[in-house]
Amino acid sequence: MATYVLLPGAGTDAWYWHLLEAELRGRGHDVVAVDLPCDDDTAGLAEYTDTAVRAIGDRDRDRTELVVVAHSFGGFTAPLVCERVPVGLLVLLQAQIPAPGESPGEWWGNTGFERARHEQDERDGRDPDDTVALFHHDTPPELAARAQEHARPQSATPFMKPWPLDAWPDVPTKFLLSRDDRFFPAAYMRGIVRERLGITPDEMAGDHCPMLGRPRELADRLEAYRAGA
């Protein structure tokens, strides 16, 4: 049995993981879906990390069956968690990859996000204000509607200070890319993964939130990573 620790993106809660959580629990694993304090203006990345470490508690402290899965903005917190607890595998799911000394607020400009998004919007012919089409076009409509209900305010506080690590943690790391994502376009993300991690990402179909649209396939991918770690 493994313990999967699921870290959400910005402005979301643990609900986003509920279908993947059920898949993993059905396969005999423990799951910790973390609610990060995204709406707390006193909380930065240090407090996000503290929250995740408290949620993990004493699970698997003496083993390496702890698997951390980070989505989107969770990519800034996940490596900090790996410095605090004995993680056996880190999986980045369409996640931001920080560079040493780079604040989350600087990440967008440093990686060319605005240009990549503009080009993707032009290809899609999408209304820039249509957030469902941006984030959930591959998600069943009833789940996409519920996802809007679970959106939370996102404080700017964790975007302000530099990411504190000098290097990526010494933890086996996989990157799983959603190739149909309109928010973080695939070609843009492939370049970031190669540049910052020195690896080629694995890919699956899906929008920005494949844990909602494709939870079974995502669970299969995570289990394959775990078995090969």
Q: What is the 3-state secondary structure (H, E, C) of 4-52?
A: EEEECCCCCCHHHHHHHHHHHHHCCCEEEECCCCCCCCCCCHHHHHHHH
Please check the confidence at residue 1 and state whether its pLDDT lies above 90: no
Average pLDDT (128-143) is: 91
In this structure, which amino acid lies at residue 210?
P
Please check the confidence at residue 149 and state whether its pLDDT lies above 70: yes
Average pLDDT (83-91) is: 96
Neighbours of 164 (CB within 10 A): 14
Sign (positive or negative) of CA dihedral 53, 55, 58, 59: negative
Please check the confidence at residue 9 and state whether its pLDDT lies above 60: yes
pLDDT digit string, tens, across residues 192-228: 999 999 999 999 999 999 999 999 999 999 999 999 9
Average pLDDT (166-184) is: 97
Indicate the average pLDDT of the chain: 95
Residue 48: predicted pLDDT: 98
**CA 136 – CA 187 distance, rounded (Å):** 19
Residue 58: predicted pLDDT: 79
- All domains in the chain, ordered by first residue: 3-228 (3.40.50.1820)
Please check the confidence at residue 7 and state whether its pLDDT lies above 60: yes
Buried b (16+ CB within 10 A) or exposed e, 176-198: bbbbbbbbbbbebbbebbeebee
**CA 159 – CA 204 distance, rounded (Å):** 29
**CA 59 – CA 37 distance, rounded (Å):** 21
The terminus-to-terminus CA distance of the chain in angstroms comes to 14
Neighbours of 125 (CB within 10 A): 6
Local structure of residue 174 (DSSP, 8 states)? E
pLDDT digit string, tens, across residues 115-128: 998 898 888 887 77
Tokens of 213: 């649209």
E strands, 172-227, in order: 173-178, 202-204
Contact 173, 197 (CB under 8 A): yes
What is the C-alpha radius of gyration for the chain, rounded to an integer number of angstroms? 16
Please check the confidence at residue 61 and state whether its pLDDT lies above 70: no
Residue 130: predicted pLDDT: 87
In this structure, which amino acid lies at residue 199?
I
Global pTM? 0.95
